[in-house]
Each structure stands twice: as structure tokens, then as C-alpha cells.
Chain A
Amino acid sequence: MAVDDDLQLARAVREATLATGGVHSLGTGRYAEAATYGAGEKVSGVVVSDDEVRVHVVAGYPLSEPIPALAERIREKVAPRAGGRAATIVVEDLEVTSNEGL
């Protein structure tokens, strides 16, 4: 049951993160896959543990604001869905979304 709850939470966090302006996509982890696993399903880019929800993001480039500000906005969206857990944001990469200004 807890696995299902984690999966549900991870899905909600994924949606909230992707709905944040400036986020290009979710990352998949650098050294190990960052994902929450459930029966026959996994949510990549979100790792739910007992006391933390870790979100791996790829930010869009050029950045409209510094990374810490973007991370704060993501955290604001994610926190209400994190079930009281601390939200950790990991910016894995920057992905060019527009050639303007490059």
C-alpha cells in the first residue's frame, strides 16, 4: 500500500514540476536512475523516501532566472504534494529551448 502511495505522490510531484515555468523536463539521474518504482510502473525523475522527495530537473535554456530562484518556485509547487517531506531539487542539466539570445 505504501508503495502505491509513494507512486501516487511521485506522479503528483512530477505533474507539479513539469507545470513549473522554466522546467524543460525531468532528469533521470546521473550515477543511478532517479525514479520511484511501483508495481509495473516507475516515475522517472522523482525519488520518494520516508523523509524526502527529491526531484531531478532539466531546466530550459536560456534561463529566465537564476537556478536557485527556479528551484524555489519548483519547491513551492512540490511542497504541498510532498506529504510533509522535505523537497530537494537537483538541477541535472540545462537544455536549449530557444535560440534567442544565444
Chain B
Amino acid sequence: MRVFNRLVVVLLLAGLVALGISAFVYALDLGGHRLSSVPNTLGLSSAYEGLDNFTRNAEGGNLNPLDITVLVVVALFGLILLLFELFKRPVPRKVLMQQGTYVTRSTIENEANAAAEEVPEVLQSDVDVDAQRKSGAKVSVTANVRRGEDTSRLQSDVQERVQKRLAEVGVPVSSLKVRVLEADPRETKTRVK
């Protein structure tokens, strides 16, 4: 759903940018066309005509069965999406540790960060924590190291340290993903350790 939403927003914003630019161009009379001639240039006249016929038929109660079916399907689909959005259970913001005990995501992020940066080769780490409806957190760690380091060994080192630290703190972890990326030390939080 997030990808779909992003796509819709990107298309919408791209449309707005295009509209703004074309309005600006036409305002300065740079286009060489009249604004009123755009529908004809783009061949929208036939589409307008079709729309006009459709609304006239709808008002007159003369829609054909296919149109009615399509409209009903569209309406039902919209209704289902609306209900789904209205009654969707929100994703929790805090991580459930056990019945009645929660910990904030930032607490887990700080702990995982500290654990990852205990590994001497790690120059910087970024941690993302997602809460779930059930107990446990989804933790994703990205560790930046110098080029040429043994990334597979470091990945297991970081994974082990983070797992150990979170277990000591008592945070149940449902998934822990560790990525080790090579980075330029000039762009990381720490250059030398």
C-alpha cells in the first residue's frame, strides 16, 4: 500500500509541476498556441464528447448494462478500500515486551546503536526499530565500515553484539537484520577508532 500511495503522490506532484510550468509558459506567450486550443491539440474533444454522452445517458437512465456493472464494481471497490482504511488497526508505536510492559523504539535504537558501535571496525551505525502488535521488535541495523574490511565476519560480529545487548536489556526481538556497508570514513560519524 505504501508503494501505491507513493506512486499516486508522485504522479500527482508530477502533474502539478507540469501544469505549473505549462501555465507559466502560456502566461509568457512562449508556447505559440492559445491556451483555449490545448484540448483540440491534445485531442481531448472526442473524450469530452464521450463524457458528455455518458452523463446525458446517466441522467436519462439509459446506461447500458456494462456501464452499470463497471460503476457498481468501482463503487464497491472504493467502499471496501474506505472501510479497510477506516477500521484498520493502527501499528503500535511502542514495543510490547510482555503483558502490560512496553519500551519505546528509541530506547531499543539507542541500545542497538551502542552495541553495534562497540565493534571496533564499525564507524557508524543506523538502527531502525519497528513495533508489532505481538510481543517483540523488528530491528534492522546498518553498520558502516572502511573499504576492504571483512564484511561477512563483521556482520556476524555486529549481529552477535546487538543480540546479546538486547537480550541483556530484556527486549524480545522477533527479527534482527544486519547490513554491513563499506563507506568513506570522511562521511561517517567516526573516522578513526
Residues of A within 8 A of B (CB): 30-31, 63, 66-69, 71-72, 75, 86-94
Contact = CB atoms under 8 A, between A and B. Distances in A.
Contact of A75 (B100, B102, B107, B171): B100
A71 B103 CA distance: 10
Nearest to B94: A90
A95 to B, nearest CB: 10
Interface string B83-123: 00000000001100110111110110011000000000000
A66 B168 contact: yes
A68 B168 contact: no
Given A30-B93, A90-B94, A94-B111, A67 B101 contact: yes
Contacts of A93: 104, 106-107, 110
B104 A30 contact: yes
B171 A67 contact: yes
Contacts of B111: 94
Interface string B165-177: 0001111000000
A38 B103 CA distance: 27
Nearest to A75: B100
Most chain B C-beta atoms within 10 Å of own C-beta, residue among A67, A71, A88, A92: A67
B60 to A, nearest CB: 53
B93 A91 contact: no
Most chain A C-beta atoms within 10 Å of own C-beta, residue among B93, B94, B102: B102
Given A31-B93, A66-B170, A67-B169, A94 B100 contact: no
Chain B, interface residues (CB within 8 Å), range: 10 to 19
Contacts of B97: 67-68, 71
A91 B107 contact: yes
Given A30-B93, A66-B168, A66-B169, A92 B100 contact: no
Given A90-B103, A91-B104, A93-B106, A69 B170 contact: yes
14 contacts: A31-B93, A66-B169, A67-B103, A67-B170, A68-B170, A69-B170, A88-B100, A89-B101, A89-B102, A90-B101, A91-B102, A93-B106, A94-B107, A94-B110
B54 to A, nearest CB: 47
A78 B180 CA distance: 44
Given A68-B97, A92-B107, A93-B110, 17 more contacts: A31-B93, A66-B169, A67-B101, A68-B101, A68-B170, A71-B97, A71-B98, A72-B101, A75-B100, A87-B100, A88-B100, A88-B102, A90-B102, A91-B102, A91-B103, A91-B104, A93-B104
Contacts of B102: 88-91
